[in-house]
Amino acid sequence: MSFGIDNLPYGSVIGADGRRFAAARFGADVLDLSHLDPDLFAGGTLDAFLAGGRPIWTRVRADVVDALTADRYPLTPLADVTPVLAFTVADYVDFYASEHHATNAGRIFRPDGAALTPNWKHQPLGYHGRSGSVVVSGTDVPRPRGQFLDGDAVTFGPTRRLDFEAEVAFVVGRPGSRIAVADADDHIFGVCLLNDWSARDMQGFETPPLGPFLGKSFATSIGAWITPLDALAGVRTAPRQDPLPLPHLRETDPAHGLRLDLEVRINGQVVSRPPFGAMYWTYAQMLAHLTSNGSAVRAGDLFASGTVSGPDRGHRGCLLELTWNGTEPLDRGDGATGTWLEDGDEVTIAATAGAVTLAEVRGRVLPSVSADP
Ligand code: CA
């Protein structure tokens, strides 16, 4: 069954009686984790649990397996609870770790220059995002408004180039700084899918010279259920990196690549199957780089891979690439084609890791809501 005993992702839900509780997902049910440890899960979130570190994560996972195997507590049907954000998002960082995505973006925006910038293979590039606009899967996303060019004129209004970015995100538990690649798994609890909604016209006008800002900060959706790294031991893979990065960023054996197979659907129609196993940088290298200057990470920090794209057209993880910046309409099924997201479109990102399923991240685009400011 999906979400069986080898998976057991964690989340936070509101029950039919209005009570919020931390839960482990098992098949079509959830287990209230306060049965296992009322103090650790007292707030109904994963916050204290994440901060506890790997010994706590290992103990609780064993206790959950034992409770489910022995039928120790009553379960609640998944259909009777409403998932909310599983943890308090501390800081949020988004990387740019797919060589295929970075190469495609470079070709689109710098057709006469090198596709990759000179720094790209020496460090996982990223930017600091906005943790307050991270929302749980199922949350509607109103079309954002902002500045962009209409011909040569600067205008303000609802974005005309709304996009998704299919990404994989990592949730930090144990705090730390200057974290070695080899120690990453002591600090990272687990994985979820992430949609970095992007307004390409706003992004294009505002980005030089300081980077992404309002074109990406209006909403970032994450899956409701965090799959522990423990469940992904069977899909580890080593990245191919040439040239080798500096010693503090070199991968270890075993390495930290993950063979996750993503699938992106718009209104139920599959539009892409991005392979996470083809990523250039691993999550351990991202964490090592993020903390290499002495910057610290805290429990609840979230960092994402950047758009996941592979070598083929059907692997591209955003509409920017799938439609080549709006110049090649995409087959939406039933003869329909389109370029950017339209009001009412629902984007779903799903993934499997061998026999393990990651919880999908889903969101629907709503019309822009506000009047002109
Ligand atoms: Ca992104």
The string of pLDDT tens digits covering residues 282-322 is 999 999 999 999 999 999 999 999 999 999 999 999 999 99
- What pLDDT was estimated at residue 339? 96
How far does the centroid of ligand 1 lie from the alpha carbon of residue 305, in Å?
A: 7
pLDDT at position 334, please? 75
Measured CA to CA, the distance from residue 320 to residue 198 in angstroms comes to: 10
- Other C-beta atoms lying within 10 Å of the C-beta of residue 126: 20
Q: Give the pLDDT of residue 372.
A: 55
- Partners of 24 in beta bridges: 10, 31
Q: What is the pLDDT of residue 333?
A: 80
In whole angstroms, what is the distance from residue 62 CA to residue 366 CA? 42
CA 363 – ligand 1 centroid, Å: 16
Residue 30 alpha carbon to ligand 1 centre in Å: 31
CA–centroid distance, 196 to ligand 1, in Å, is 5
> Nearest CA to 291 among 251, 260, 249, 333?
249
Query: Read out DSSP for 181-237?
Result: GGGHHHHEEEEEEEE--EEHHHHHHH-TTT---TTTSS-EEE-SSBEEGGGGGGGEE
Residue 292 contacts by C-beta under 8 Å, 6 or more apart in sequence? 178, 248, 249
Pick out the chain residues at pLDDT < 70: 370-373
The number of residues making up the chain comes to 373
List CB contacts of 238: < 8 A, sequence separation 6 or more: 251, 253, 254, 255, 257
Residue 259 confidence (pLDDT): 98
Q: Is 372 helix (H, G, I), strand (E, B) or coil?
A: coil
H/E element holding 126? strand 126-128
pLDDT tens digit sequence for 322-365: 999 999 999 888 788 889 999 999 999 999 999 999 999 999 99
From ligand 1's centre to the CA of 169, what distance in Å?
Answer: 10
Annotated catalytic, 128? Answer: no
Domains of the chain: 10-84 (no CATH), 92-366 (3.90.850.10)
Name every residue whose Cβ is closer than 8 Å to that of residue 38 and which is 6 or more positions away in sequence.
none
* 357 CA from centroid of ligand 1 (Å): 22
* Terminal alpha carbon distance of the chain: 51
Report the pLDDT value the prediction gives residue 337, as an integer from 0 to 100. 87
Say if strands 141-142 and 356-366 run parallel, antiparallel, or are unpaired: parallel
Indicate the helix (H) or strand (E) that contains 61: helix 54-69
- C-alpha 83/C-alpha 360 separation (Å) is 12
Of 135, 139, 129, nearest in space to 212 by CA: 129
Mean pLDDT of the chain: 97
Cα(309)–Cα(159) distance, rounded to whole angstroms? Answer: 24
Distance 219 CA to ligand 1 centre (A): 12
pLDDT at position 371, please?
60
**Cβ proximity of 23 and 32 under 8 Å:** yes
In whole angstroms, give the CA distance from residue 245 to residue 104. Answer: 22
Distance 356 CA to ligand 1 centre (A): 24
Q: Helix (H, G, I), strand (E, B), or coil: what is residue 51?
A: helix
User: Above pLDDT 70, what percent of the chain?
Assistant: 99
The Cα 157–Cα 162 span in angstroms is 12
CA of 134 to the centre of ligand 1 (A): 13
Q: How remote is the C-alpha of 196 from its chain's centroid?
A: 7
Which amino acid, one-letter code, is at 66? D
Whole-angstrom distance, CA of residue 69 vs CA of residue 29:
14
The residue behind tokens 């300081």 is 210
Side-chain-side CA neighbours of 132 within 13 Å: the count stands at 1
User: What does the pLDDT read at residue 79?
Assistant: 98
Catalytic position from the list 35, 100, 101, 289: 101
